[in-house]
Structure 1
Amino acid sequence: MAEYQEVYIEGPQQEHVSGRSVLCASVAGMAIGGPLLGMSGFSFIASVALLLITSPLLLLFSPLLFCAALLLVGALAGFSAAATIAMAGVSTLGWVFRELRAGRGDHVGSTFGERLAESGERLKKLGEGWAAHLHQMTPGIEFEMS
């Protein structure tokens, strides 16, 4: 007789649910949730057991692992410094080629060697201007201008 009882759910809309559908939903929830709860408990117990087993090994090999981590960090720092220097070199080459290309229109009848030499002189003067600017910005450091 209990299976024919009616259950009323309070909310924005009052719904009429039979006791049989509540019982079926509870059984289905336990059938799905029970094994999931059991598997999560088993994975927790297995993780704790593995931690207890491996913690002496971790303590024993910690100096070696620390040195390996330092080596990895040093290698990553070296690669990042190399990439930064490479990007600076590529941007400097691009700047030089832009400056060489900018001076082409001034020399209509001259050869490539003459244009290159004159562009080099222009770049040297521009570099001396930068060196003078840097010398003013950092008064304690001496720059060699050749």
Structure 2
Amino acid sequence: QQIIIVYILFLRPLSFLRGKILKKRFFIKDVCVYTLYFFGDNNFTEWGPLFQHYVPPPFRIPGTSPAYSFGIAGSGSGVPFHWHGPGFSEVIFGRKRWFLYPPDQTPHFHPNETTLAWLQHTYPTLPPALRPLECTLRPGEVLYFPDRWWHATLNLDTSVFISTFLG
């Protein structure tokens, strides 16, 4: 049954399931556990031709060299809050929602909770002053994430994206 549900997620947007399958409490958490999310640790032997054709954003940080990471993700998937060095993320297909906090403002989250669950349960309880900066990237749009900024993502559709890490 879970395999069929995951397959449905790729055929229809997540909103199609709301009011049907998502009435089951356990499924909200499981959607993001079983939904496709491929990102990082790209083998450059296999992915090299793709990266050779990729035109990165025309911005650089002096003294850094870019490292590319290609991703494909299903609707409803994403990554919980985390931080790392600076970089860019560009959406090629689909939409990706971003939530960002500056380094001195630690977000309220549980590391084992999906971004979708956080958005549904924690986000509505946050006072406006404690809510993150937010944006939704669409195809061709790029987001710069500064060094050590907390961020979480939620793929609103099946998405294809490339991140450029500057380090």
Specify which structure has the higher proportion of strand: 2
Larger fraction in helix: 1
Provide the TM-score with structure 1 as the length reference: 0.19
Q: Could you state the TM-score of these two structures normalised by the residue count of structure 2?
A: 0.17
Higher Cα Rg: structure 1 or 2? 1
Q: Which of the pair has the greater relative contact order for Cα pairs under 8 Å at 6+ separation?
A: 2
